[in-house]
Structure formats: C-alpha cells, structure tokens
Amino acid sequence: MSKSIKKLSTRKSTKKVSRNYSPETIVKLWVKSGGRCEFTGCNEYLLIDNLSLHESNLSNVAHIVGLKGARSKDLLPMEERNNVENLMLVCKKHHGIIDDRKWIVAYPKEKLLQMKRAHEDRILRLTEMKPGEKTFTICFKAKVAGEVVQIPFDQIESAVYPRYPMEKKPLEIDLTSLPDVEDESTWIIGRKMISEALSKYYFPGVESGSINHVSIFGLAPIPLLMFLGNQLSNKVTTDLYQRHRNPEEWAWKTDGNTINYKTHLLRSGKDKSKVALILSLSGSISIKDLTEDIKNCYTVYEITLDGITPNTDYLRKKDDLESFKVAYQKLLGKIKLNHSTDEILLFPAVPAPIAILCGRELLKKAHPLIKIYDLNKKKGGFSYIFSIN
C-alpha cells in the first residue's frame, strides 16, 4: 500500500513540472496574442521567418510563474501554471530573457503580467474594429499661455476606439512656431495656416468620399478653435475630444454626474439689433467685464453651468458636449426670432471642443455673423479679435 502511494506521489510530482499544454490552451494563446510576441516592444509575427519569408511556427511558450527554477517561487498552485493566464507567446530571444535568472529583477511577475494584458488588450481592440470605422484625425495645436501640450498618437487611438485612424499620423495643424503674442498678425497667420491645411488634406477627402468621419483634438486659443470649427464641412460626422488631466488622456469619460446648462437674459437693451452672448463655462465672465458701450446698449445673454461653478475640468463626458450643442442651438434660434440682428458679439470662456463646436454649428444663411472677443490680460480686458460665419 505504501509503495502504491509512493508511486502515485512520484507521478504527481512529475506532472507538476511538465509542460503539458492542452490544444485548447495553445489555440487560446495564439488567438489572444494575435500570433505575435507579447514581450513589450517586440511584436514579432511568429508564423513567418523574416529572412526566408517561409511560413513556420517560430513561437515559444513562456511561463510567467515558472514550473521550476527562480521563477517558480510563487504561491500560484502548480496545477494552474500551464493555464493560458500564466503563459505568454513570445519569440525565442525574449523567451531566453524571461528565463534568464539575471533578468528576473528587471522583469518580475507583475511586469510580465502587465505586458501580457497590454498586448492582448491591444490585439482585442484591433480585431474588434470593423470596416467603415476609419476616422480622419486632426490635431490642432498652438501655444496657450506660452505652453505647448503634445497630443500622443497612442492617446488618439485610445480616444477614437472602436474607430481607428485612417493614417498612422494625423493631420497636424501646428501653430506652435507663431509668436506668443496675440496681435493682429498672429490671428491672420493662424487662420491662413488652418485654411491651407484643410484645403490641402481635408476638403479633397471630403469631396471624394474617402473621408466620411473626422476626429479632432485641439489645444489652441479660443478664437482660432472657433475659426477651425467654422471651416469644417457639415457633410461628414465629426467627433470632438477634450484633454483630461489626472490621468492625462483624451478619451471621453463614462462616469460622473451629468452636466446641465442654463441660459440667462442678463440685460435687455433698448436697441434689439444689438446682441451679445457670454459663455461662462470653463471660467466666469461678468457683465461688468464687458466694454462700456456693450454694458449700456446691448441685450446680453449668458449660457453657463447649472448648479456648479464654471471650471476648467467640468467637461468629462461626450453627452455633456451634446447637451451644450442643444442649448447653443436653441439660444441662436431664440436670438434670430426675437432680434433683428446680423451680428452677435461673443465672449467665450469655454473648453477647446466647445469652442470648435461653437464655430461648426453656425449656418451661414441661418445665423448671424459672430464677432469673437477674447480676454487679453496684457490689455486688461476683452478685445475684438475677428468675425466668423
């Protein structure tokens, strides 16, 4: 009896250290990895030899928690170590690095698990993408308060998912070389550069039908963002994105409270043809901040946040952008109905995507000219910049 128990124990011990992967496990690993090395930065395709181009299985299966040796010292039960959750599909070179004792400190269990998750998540995202879900990406950047914020391409990919960029590089409208002095020449050059970039790369694609969806990432002075929005075509669906902080990313959030907007009539002017609009969203603008002639003569409306103080971080969800669009369109319609005016003076304190939306939602035949004012601290108040529409 004792010999039988000893024999059974020996067989069990042998099984523990055996690389017995089920066919199902190997299939799962190949599918999850996309047939590519899961070691971060490699991504080698493991079904074709790069030199001869012959089809061959070049894959190695690496254990994250090992069956024996230095990587085996872990609480993971031995019978679970051949499960797909503990395996990585890798090339021969990186299998050697994973198994080499001297690299264990640099690539501990947690690091390898992170590599596996990131790689397999990326493969899943890419394979979920369907034909027709391409998007033409535009990055518009300029100095804001003397600073330039970069827009990493991986953050763009994450934000537009499940869509995917048409090109590996977005259309960049880069005004960061312009002087950090918002004078007349800066505004003129900025508008010219925007128009030229759109005319060269954007409009031909829209007209030919090769561009049928657009995603825009912008960080620039508000007047230029509004000008960009006003130049965009209404023929294609366009998504706008907001830069979020902590952590820094551009994907719209799905949690948090819903934002509501409210519209005020701050002042009724004697001349109904004189109308001004304040947008107090990312910051508060008081009627006292306007020039004397506007305070005394104009009817002044305001769109602001309902129940919360205007702040730079309020815009988190795409639905909140859509809600502003509705409030903005309603107010433009109300102004058109109640005021015989061919222009509106606009005083905006808004996030970048709302600035773009404000320009894009203007219809040339339906809405009046928008005269954009911007806060210039050097001049001590708001000043007229240029008009759109």
Q: Are 177 and 212 in contact (CB under 8 A)?
A: no
198 assigned to some structural domain: yes
Residue 11 binned pLDDT confidence (cut-offs 50, 70, 90): very low
Q: Would 5 be classed as within a structural domain?
A: no
Of the candidate ranges 103-107, 115-119, 181-185, the one whose mean pLDDT is the lowest: 181-185
Query: Bigger pLDDT: 378 or 90?
Result: 90
Query: Are residues 371 and 271 part of one domain?
Result: yes
Q: Are residues 266 and 384 in the same domain?
A: yes
Average pLDDT over residues 86-91: 97
The number of distinct structural domains making up the chain is: 3
Confidence (pLDDT) at 7: 38
- The answer on pLDDT for 2 being more than 50 is no
Q: What is the CA radius of gyration of the chain?
A: 29
CATH assignment at residue 369: 3.40.50
255 domain residue, yes or no: no
User: Residues 226, 169: one domain?
Assistant: yes
Question: What pLDDT digit, counting tens, does each position of 308-350 carry?
Answer: 999 999 999 999 999 999 999 999 999 999 998 999 999 999 9
Q: Do 73 and 153 belong together in one domain? A: no
Contact residues for 211 (Cβ-Cβ < 8 A; gap 6+): 136, 166, 202, 205, 236
When pLDDT is averaged across residues 75-89 and rounded to a whole number, the result is: 95
Using the predicted structure, report yes or no on whether residue 8 has a pLDDT greater than 50: no
Which has more pLDDT, 214 or 21? Answer: 214
Q: Which residues lie below 8 Å from residue 120, measured CB to CB, with a gap of 6+? A: 32, 33, 38
> pTM of whole model > 0.85?
no
Q: What are the angstrom distances between the C-alpha of 229 and each of 17, 195, 215, 233, 362?
A: 63, 11, 12, 9, 9
| 124 and 189 fall within a common domain | no
- Whether 273 and 172 share a structural domain: no
Task: Please report the pLDDT score of residue 17 as a whole number.
Answer: 55
Instruction: Quote the pLDDT of residue 6.
Output: 37
From residue 80, give the alpha-carbon distance in Å to each of 9, 84, 85.
18, 9, 9
Residue 195 belongs to what domain range?
134-241
Q: What is the pLDDT of residue 194?
A: 97
Q: Which residues contact 237 (CB under 8 A, 6 or more apart)?
A: 212, 213, 214
Q: What angle do CA 306, 268, 354 make, to 5 degrees?
A: 40
- Token pair belonging to 317: 């969800």
Percent of the residues in the chain that have a pLDDT greater than 70, as a whole number: 93
Element (H, E) at 132: none
Say if 119 falls within a structural domain: yes
Whether 8 maps to a domain, the answer reads: no
The total of other beta-carbon atoms located within 10 Å of residue 161's CB is: 14
Average pLDDT over residues 272-294: 92
What is residue 204's three-state secondary structure? helix
Tens-digit pLDDT profile for residues 298-307: 999 999 999 9
> Of 193, 212, 241, which residue sits at a domain end?
241
Domain contains 44: yes
Q: Which pLDDT score is estimated for 4?
A: 38
For 199-251, how does the pLDDT look when each residue is reduced to its tens digit (9 = 90+)? Answer: 999 999 999 999 999 999 999 999 999 999 999 999 999 999 999 988 889 99
Asked if residue 225 and residue 175 are part of one domain, the reply reads yes
Q: How far apart are CA 223 and CA 323, in angstroms?
A: 22
Q: Do residues 270 and 332 both lie within one domain?
A: yes
Q: Are residues 358 and 295 in the same domain?
A: yes
Rounded CA-CA distance 239/343 in Å is 27
pLDDT tens figures, 167-213: 889 999 999 888 766 678 889 999 999 999 999 999 999 999 999 99
Residue 123 shares a structural domain with residue 144: no
61 and 176 together in one domain? no
Mean pLDDT for the chain overall:
90
Q: Which of 241, 269, 292 is the last residue of a domain?
A: 241
Distance CA 226, CA 370 (A): 10
Predicted local distance difference test score (pLDDT) of residue 245: 87
Give the per-residue pLDDT at 181.
65
Same domain, 277 and 212: no
360 inside domain: yes
Residue that the structure tokens 């074709």 belong to: 48
